[in-house]
Structure 1
Amino acid sequence: MQHIYLTYLKATSATGLFSRTFCWLLLLLFFSQCKEKVKLPPPSPDNGGLFLPGNFQAVVVADSLEGKARHIAVNDNGDVYVKARYGGADSSIIALRDTNNDGRADILKRFGGVGKERGYGTAVRIHKGYIYFSSELLVYRYKLTPGKLVPEGKMEIILTDDHAHGMHEHIAKPLSFDDQGNMYVPFGAPSNACQETNRTPNSPGIYPCPLLEDHAGIWRFSADKLHQTQRDGTKYATGLRSIVAMDWNQADKSLYVLNHGRDDLLRLWAHKYTPWQSAVLPSEEFFKVREGMDGGWPYFYYDQMQKKKVINPEYEGKAALAGKEKDLEQPIFGFPGHWAPNDVLFYTGTQFPERYREGAFVAFHGSTNRAPYPQASYFIGFIPFKNGKPTGEWEVFADGFAGVDPIVNVSDAHYRPMGIAMGPDGSLYIAETEKGKVWRIMYTGEKDTFGEPQLAQMEKRKSLSHLRTPDEVNDNLDKGVVVAGEKIYNTYCGSCHQRNGLGDNSRFPPLANSDWVVGDKNRLIEVVLNGLQGPIEVKGQSYNNVMPQHSFLGNEDIAQVLTYIRQNFGNTASAINADEVNKVRNALHVQNTSTTK
């Protein structure tokens, strides 16, 4: 430091006012850069379990948050706001503050209770001095109080989803804002593929699909008007089955979203799709959203290997759809199937190397329904952008969340990345849903020397089973399965309840030690024959999703699969035979359409 000051005095005495000014500016630049680096806290051991490109490091901001975590937002002063996965009377938002600059939150407060809510449909964003967040059916906001961690004003209701919701698929309410005072909110499709009987094998699709009128799209609203409903908004885009990841890109003033593709190609159309095709298709589509665009749901899906729209099996032979794919919006990028992209952020900071500027970070939450192949994704990806267009292939930016490879069951994964936010200094914050952990990722190297050598180690991770395209034979987890009922379970049940019977801890309940499984035989048989929808409670946790009917299975097949689940996963209940299934089937007047017994 003394050497720099003496150099400054020598230069200014010899060269006059201009040189003194120039040197002073150089000193200011030098000290500002030093100050920025000093502010970065030391990383956690092993980066909190994450694999990152060279010279990136991570510190664990918070661990094991009660209520766990979904989306995340960071205020201009560095305060972190986490949307709890499971809300409560006073814990919908978890506010975190680091007062000693060690990177870890030492103050934690909760606010914004909206009653008992499921965590599936959550968002939190900071916009023009307000913190906006959502439950499944409502969008709320508070005015942030400068200097205060918790807002002091009253909670306001911005939007209410007033549709009838006994049970609703894809009910998430992510949020995004443009710079013209508008707020964008998706209304997901209450269906997998608009079938006459939802999620039922060989059931045809309804044409035209009536759900497109007020669902399966994005609506634009005023960001400041209170007590709006969907009727107060404008339909901005349609043909989008389920949107959870959404961001407004300031570089080209456009909305970008990632669409979750449909499920169950194998379970619903076993004579048309192989297990491998069902595992990798259809694509998770990355769209630049233009007003009035049509993404194609439910009539078409995107095949990332053929790089084209393909008609869904429910709509094959519909003459009215011939050639319609030419009018549909094509994705700017097609990711492999069932990767569950649940947040996206366009990076506008300056802390990271220049190649990350304007690019998109995507949180891939991880698949649940790739059986009989390993589950996939569970990482933070990056797509380089320039002038509003991707410039290359997707990259692995942060990995190691799952902690295991292969990931056979969702519950095997230690963490599942969900929310992404950028801090005021350009750090990247990541929240995950399983244990409520939050990381802050920082760049500590020389930005000018960052390049391919630092990225090479991350490229190698694409060979791991949770990131590579699975080998159709060698990666099939059903090789050698001979136990009666097990293969039926893996085909029709394992995609939701998982191969270990533990469910996914969010949408699909566990079968292990569940009274629904080991209790009344007739009730269990009835659930399989008729399906189940509406709220239920399993082992103290609420669930509200679709259990599709499986009456298409023969009595013997149902008996075998129910016996399998009653005598596995730690269950020790008695067997079920085909006569017992037939008796319940006749009492319910459910036709047996199976070609087996």
Structure 2
Amino acid sequence: MKNSNQPLITIFIFISFFCFQLISCTTPLELPETDPNNDGLILPGGFGALVVVDSIGKARHLAVNNNGDIYVKLSYAKGKGSNVALRDTTGDGKADIVTHFGDYKDEGSLANGMRIHDGYLYYSAARVVYRNKLVPDKLVPDSPMEIILTDDHEHGIHWHITKPMSFDEEGYMYVPFGSPSNACQDMANKPGGIPGSTGLDPCPELIEHGGVWRFKMDKLNMTQKDGELYATGIRSVVAMDYNKEDKNLYLVMHGRDNLHLLYPETFSPWESAVLPSEEFIRVEEGGDYGWPYCYYDQIKGKKVLAPEYGGDGEIIGRCADMDDPVMGFPGHWAPNDLLFYTGDQFPDRYKNGAFIAFHGSTNRSPYQQSGYFVAFVPFKNGQASGEWEVFANGFAGKELIVNTSDAEFRPMGLAQGPDGSLYVSDSRKGKIWRILYKGDKASFGEAELAKMEEQKLVANIRNPHPEEDNQDKGQLPEGKKVYNTYCSPCHQRDGNGATGRIPGLRQTDWVTGNKDKLINIVLQGLDGEIEVNGELYDNVMPAHQFLSDEQISEVLTFIRQNFDNKASAVSKDEVADIRAKISK
């Protein structure tokens, strides 16, 4: 006999299933517990943080897959692989599987870039963009590693060769080709410059560098010639992201360096510490953002002519025709990642806004170093709708950072998880944080933001006072004075250098060994790979022939008898003798 209740049963099952689906779609995912005191991070009210993993190596950029697996780009880890895959199998937010993979030629801290796009994991060495097809249920992809793009220029390694990548929704990839110099100086491609050096005009570097190139993603093994110059006048880029809301590429540019060192009569040490701006740029096709002829002064709120091209900090000249940034941040904060937030976990004001990881300055001497935090810029309808804010601070472990090595951690990479969590990587030891929101989104507002506004007054973020914060107040011995002016911006005031970029000066034969060799390095510079205390460096030290024999003898004596070094002095006559041999 036919069951007369069958239609009612069917309707009941359908309604039950619909209600279950509705509940499961509207009930937020259960978030893991955050760490006590948020592991030292200072965050807006309602936010918390937990450490996903600690000490995996010098982490750079990172990406999170739809299933929560995390992929991290490292500075080269010889014998282990330069990528790390992380998985949490227990649901506590902590990675309990940590696997290195990807043993390919790399160039240390110059290697940045990690993205998941269209089912592929993309990552970069300094010169090459690679990818692997992600395989469902496999943490480490065992698919063939494909070469997407190779930088085939014959120039040597330089600080701005990094290859981050971003993708739009029309099948294009964007990659910057950074400038190999500070401001296209007329001095045989040496990035440091010499006092009073002029700039090449027009700058020949702009033909193949100093801009962003666009590539159609329809083939492998591309070189720069397979792409097209999308925008120019962009010195150096590590932080870049595509904003899906207004369908446009954005980046935060590393500004030029050494205004006081190169032009001491025009720019004070304070101006050199806070200028020029790190520019937040909405990259328009065909745009010209001014480098090397111009830089943005965030204090004046305008672009001005660079000193290499006749500027004095006031003259605008040709810069009136250059494209302006969205906003300018204080100088040398080192913007190293940019992420437009598209998740729903955070309060609504963060939706479609921009997070920026400031890695922290190395060359603000004689003032404290600055940055070392994550900023946020609110956006509305595809436009920046407010000033920048401090979102996360406390990475460095202290507020006053005199030397880069004083910072315990340095925020480097940003990624968004499938649940809307924000992940932040550290480049010193390889710690990864996951930032969550567990508060009431409806009540989040002015009180929480006002508390974070106070962070702008702490030493690692505020502008230094020109006199009170000058660490060279009073008389200094000549050797230390020369060191602080010309050497400490790279090697740091404590002589420890900057990990992965600049070698330290402590107890190394490069400093305490043969004096002639050391004098030669100062007079002629140094280019290429070297090993210092077991660590490889591949960078450029500019020649300092502009220093007098007495200045060089004083500074080398200072270096050889400080920083735990105990070596003999260098005389003025020894410097003069080497200089004469070089000039023959």
Normalised TM-score (structure 2): 0.94
Deviations 1:350-405 (A, max 9, x none): 00000000100000000000000000010000000011211111111111000112
1:107 lines up with 2:97 in the alignment: yes
Matched length:
569
Which residue number in structure 2 is paired with residue 154 of structure 1?
A: 144
C-alpha distance in structure 2 between counterparts of 1:124 and 1:445, whole Å: 31
2:127 to 119, 126, 137: 137
8 Å CA contact 2:305, 2:318 repeated in 1: no
Alignment of 1:164-175 (within 5 A): 164-175=154-165
Stretches of structure 1 lacking an aligned partner (at least 5 in a row): 1-16, 591-597
Alignment of 1:345-384 (within 5 A): 345-384=339-378
Displacement after TM superposition at 1:283 (Å): 0.3
SS at match of 1:81: strand
C-alpha distance in structure 1 between counterparts of 2:71 and 2:461, whole Å: 30
Q: After TM superposition, where is structure 1 displaced by more than 6 Å over at least 4 residues in a row? A: 17-27
C-alpha distance in structure 2 between counterparts of 1:489 and 1:158, whole Å: 43
1:62 lines up with 2:53 in the alignment: yes
Displacement after TM superposition at 1:483 (Å): 2.7
Deviations 1:27-67 (A, max 9, x none): 76555554x342x11111221221111010111001000x3
Alignment of 1:82-93 (within 5 A): 82-93=72-83
8 Å CA contact 1:74, 1:81 repeated in 2: yes
C-alpha distance in structure 1 between counterparts of 2:255 and 2:130, whole Å: 28
C-alpha distance in structure 1 between counterparts of 2:142 and 2:526, whole Å: 43
1:262 lines up with 2:252 in the alignment: no
Deviations 1:5-34 (A, max 9, x none): xxxxxxxxxxxx999999997776555554
1:227 lines up with 2:188 in the alignment: no
**Between 114-123 and 405-414, the greater mean CA deviation after superposition:** 114-123
Kindly report the root-mean-square deviation, in angstroms, between the aligned alpha carbons of the 2 structures. 2.0
C-alpha distance in structure 2 between counterparts of 1:412 and 1:535, whole Å: 26
8 Å CA contact 1:401, 1:416 repeated in 2: yes
1:482 to 476, 480, 497: 476
1:246 lines up with 2:240 in the alignment: yes
SS at match of 1:545: strand
8 Å CA contact 1:87, 1:114 repeated in 2: no
Which residue number in structure 2 is paired with residue 496 of structure 1?
A: 490
Which residue number in structure 1 is paired with residue 88 of structure 2?
A: 98
1:41 lines up with 2:32 in the alignment: yes
1:126 lines up with 2:120 in the alignment: no
Which residue number in structure 2 is paired with residue 390 of structure 1?
A: 384
2:546 to 520, 541, 552: 552
Which residue number in structure 1 is paired with residue 3 of structure 2?
A: none
C-alpha distance in structure 2 between counterparts of 1:120 and 1:53, whole Å: 32
8 Å CA contact 1:182, 1:223 repeated in 2: yes
C-alpha distance in structure 1 between counterparts of 2:80 and 2:222, whole Å: 24
8 Å CA contact 1:87, 1:119 repeated in 2: no
Stretches of structure 2 lacking an aligned partner (at least 5 in a row): 1-9
1:508 lines up with 2:499 in the alignment: no
8 Å CA contact 1:90, 1:114 repeated in 2: no
Letter of the structure 1 residue corresponding to residue 75 of structure 2: R
C-alpha distance in structure 1 between counterparts of 2:77 and 2:557, whole Å: 36
**Between 303-312 and 456-465, the greater mean CA deviation after superposition:** 456-465
C-alpha distance in structure 2 between counterparts of 1:534 and 1:315, whole Å: 29
Letter of the structure 1 residue corresponding to residue 181 of structure 2: S
Displacement after TM superposition at 1:587 (Å): 1.0
Which residue number in structure 2 is paired with residue 343 of structure 1?
A: 337
C-alpha distance in structure 2 between counterparts of 1:90 and 1:581, whole Å: 44
Which residue number in structure 2 is paired with residue 9 of structure 1?
A: none
SS at match of 2:123: strand
1:185 to 155, 160, 175: 175
C-alpha distance in structure 1 between counterparts of 2:141 and 2:432, whole Å: 22
C-alpha distance in structure 2 between counterparts of 1:401 and 1:317, whole Å: 37
Which residue number in structure 2 is paired with residue 204 of structure 1?
A: 198
Displacement after TM superposition at 1:90 (Å): 4.4
8 Å CA contact 2:304, 2:311 repeated in 1: no
Alignment of 1:279-428 (within 5 A): 279-316=273-310, 323-428=317-422
8 Å CA contact 1:88, 1:116 repeated in 2: no
Letter of the structure 1 residue corresponding to residue 84 of structure 2: I
1:72 lines up with 2:62 in the alignment: yes
C-alpha distance in structure 2 between counterparts of 1:25 and 1:481, whole Å: 78
SS at match of 1:70: strand
Normalised TM-score (structure 1): 0.92
Displacement after TM superposition at 1:284 (Å): 0.4
SS at match of 2:60: coil
SS at match of 1:77: coil
Displacement after TM superposition at 1:317 (Å): 7.2
1:278 to 242, 255, 272: 272
C-alpha distance in structure 1 between counterparts of 2:156 and 2:354, whole Å: 36
Displacement after TM superposition at 1:116 (Å): 4.8
8 Å CA contact 1:138, 1:161 repeated in 2: yes
Displacement after TM superposition at 1:485 (Å): 0.9
SS at match of 1:82: strand
8 Å CA contact 2:106, 2:126 repeated in 1: no
Displacement after TM superposition at 1:515 (Å): 1.1
Letter of the structure 1 residue corresponding to residue 451 of structure 2: Q
C-alpha distance in structure 2 between counterparts of 1:343 and 1:27, whole Å: 40
Q: Percent of pairs identical after alignment?
A: 56
Which residue number in structure 2 is paired with residue 435 of structure 1?
A: 429
Displacement after TM superposition at 1:117 (Å): 3.0
C-alpha distance in structure 2 between counterparts of 1:179 and 1:239, whole Å: 25
Letter of the structure 1 residue corresponding to residue 81 of structure 2: S
Letter of the structure 2 residue corresponding to residue 218 of structure 1: V
8 Å CA contact 2:48, 2:438 repeated in 1: yes
C-alpha distance in structure 2 between counterparts of 1:577 and 1:222, whole Å: 59
Deviations 1:129-188 (A, max 9, x none): 000000011000000001110112110000010001323230100100001111000000
1:465 to 429, 437, 459: 459
Which residue number in structure 1 is paired with residue 42 of structure 2?
A: 51
8 Å CA contact 1:363, 1:419 repeated in 2: yes
Give the direction of change, closer, same or farther, for the CA distance of 1:147–1:224 in structure 2 (3 Å limit): farther
Letter of the structure 2 residue corresponding to residue 61 of structure 1: V
Which residue number in structure 2 is paired with residue 577 of structure 1?
A: 571
